[in-house]
Amino acid sequence: MARLIVDISTNARWSGPPVGIVRVEQEIALQALRRGGDVDLAFHDPSSGMLRPVAPGWRDLLVGPDAVLETIWLDVRRHQPRWRRALAPRYPVVMALERARLAGLPLAGAAQRLVLGRHGRVHPFVDDAGRRMAVVPFNTALGAPVAPGPGDTVLSAGTDWLHKGGALVEFSRRHGFRLVVLCYDLLPLTHPEWFFPEDVARFGAYWRQTIPAAARILCNADCVAQDLRDFARAEALGPCDPVVVPLGYAPPRLPAALPPLPAPLAPGHFALFVSTIEPRKGHAVLLEAWRALLARGVPQGAGFHLVFAGRRGWMVDGVMREIAALSDKANGQFLHLDGPSDATLARLYRDAAFCLYPSRAEGFGLPIIEAMAQGKAVIASTGGAVPQTAGGLAPCLDPLDVPAWIATMAGWITDPAARGAWEARIRDEFRHLSWPEAAEGIIAAALA
């Protein structure tokens, strides 16, 4: 009987609540388990090059947000040097106590804290938000390697280029199974200037191997499918016929009472842009437009602020200097929130006058969906998949047309009725797939 094997290698390594690609991989795994049949969740073991199934007793924990697989010694580039310095002599004892703690042995956790000492609040035992993570021992959670055969489907929706390279491709050639992968975008190849050269090289090598070998490539937007076809043609990789599958959305689980708005924000008197600060996301155009609006006195007259919510990414030193300068300005009417919690983000979405999404290139654009789910109008861009995600329910401006952003933002600040028609259309027409619906569509497309 043909099997579906869902690779959860990215999710199993992830510490904390799922975001982006991690969330997609998690939702596919959960839906695969719900639909039943001959399904395995598996982890790619880089030491053997094989897929190893996650034992049933550990599936829920590893797919959820509260655990990480113990891959410290496997991932040399990420955390091994720090752990060698801090914990190497104690490491076997720490993990023996972790196994005992997960098995429910009394006092194991307290003993482990004593052994860890001041290192007890570092990755992987605590995530970036300060939450205690279960560190599941590698060989405890994983079974013997699986050997998929012809007719079996291995579905990989993770960041394979970071940890696997072409390993799954080679594995599929040896065993003859159907390899299906999900492509979120080809931005490191279409816009290499926004990424570090080593990342561009690794990403390109992965897709040059994967495109000719995959039984099917799924992608989340029409523009991504076209980028794949163009890249395959330019690199002479042979036929490439990707299948477009939409992603899903689910509101985060939130406390009954949301935190107050960060000072000095007032409900209905700020525009919100939620995004990691990256070169492609369009922060620079909003900063330029905002300075022009400040020079005209528009935000000051309306008691209005611009809010950036998101952590710093890479290659953005200049933008960060502009953000710091505007934040320090007495009448800058500007606030940057670095890594706000889900609850704070929910409060920001709820109380924003409107939202912004000026991305120059995008494979999806989840913050557009998050904003519309709260009934908020969005000034979006024409970058990549943004118009497809907006679905005709937002004005889409050229991400480099600063005068257009100035004019539209000024109109929406000074005259709320200017955005009212968009809000009404969102109330009447907005509908997005739930994650179970979207994950089922991805699995069905993978098996077709």
As its CATH architecture, domain 270-429 has 3-Layer(aba) Sandwich (3.40)
Contact 130, 17 (CB under 8 A): no
pLDDT value of position 118: 67
Poorest-pLDDT segment among 57-71, 157-171, 301-315: 57-71
Which CATH architecture group holds 4-54+142-248+440-447? 3-Layer(aba) Sandwich (3.40)
pLDDT in tens, 405-431: 999 999 999 999 999 999 999 999 999
Reduce the secondary structure of 48-59 to three states and give it as a string: CCEEEEECHHHH
Which residues partner with 156 through β-bridges? 7, 181
Residue type at 79 in one-letter notation? H
Check for a shared fold between 4-54+142-248+440-447 and 270-429. Answer: yes
Query: Phi and psi for 80 in degrees, rounded to 5?
Result: -60, -45
**According to the model, what pLDDT value does residue 81 have?**
46
Nearest to 146 by CA among 164, 167, 169, 171: 171
pLDDT at 201: 96
Instruction: Give per-residue pLDDT as tens, 145-191.
Output: 988 999 899 999 999 999 898 999 999 999 999 999 999 999 999 99
For residue 419, report the phi and psi dihedrals to the nearest 5 degrees.
-100, -5
Which percentage of the chain shows pLDDT scores above 90?
71
Tell me the mean pLDDT in the region 20-35: 93
- Predicted local confidence at residue 77, as pLDDT: 40
Stretch 302-311: mean pLDDT, rounded?
96
**Helix, strand, coil shares of the chain as percentages rounded to 5?**
50, 15, 35
Of the candidates 77, 71, 63, 65, the one whose C-alpha atom is nearest the C-alpha of residue 13 is 71
- Note the pTM of the prediction, 2 decimals: 0.88
Q: What is the pLDDT of residue 89?
A: 67
pLDDT score, position 79? 44
**Which position has the higher pLDDT, 149 or 85?**
149
Q: What is the mean pLDDT of the chain?
A: 91
Alpha helices in 18-141 (DSSP H): 20-35, 56-63, 80-87, 91-102, 108-116, 138-141
Burial of residue 443, with CB atoms counted within 10 A of its CB: 0-12 exposed, 13-18 middle, 19 or more buried: buried
Distance CA 239, CA 232 (A): 7
Q: Which residue has the tokens 């080679």?
A: 170
Q: Average pLDDT in the 55-59 region?
A: 91
Q: How many angstroms separate the CA atoms of 362 and 381, rounded?
A: 10
154, 155, 161, 166 alpha-carbon torsion, rounded to 10°:
20
* pLDDT > 70? residue 78: no
- 7-27: per-residue pLDDT in tens? 999 999 888 777 789 999 999
Helices (H) and strands (E) in the chain, counts: 21, 15
**Domain residue limits, the chain:** 4-54+142-248+440-447, 270-429
How does pLDDT run across 347-367, given as a tens digit for each residue? 999 999 999 999 999 999 999
Q: Which of 98-107, 316-325, 387-396 has the lowest mean pLDDT?
A: 98-107
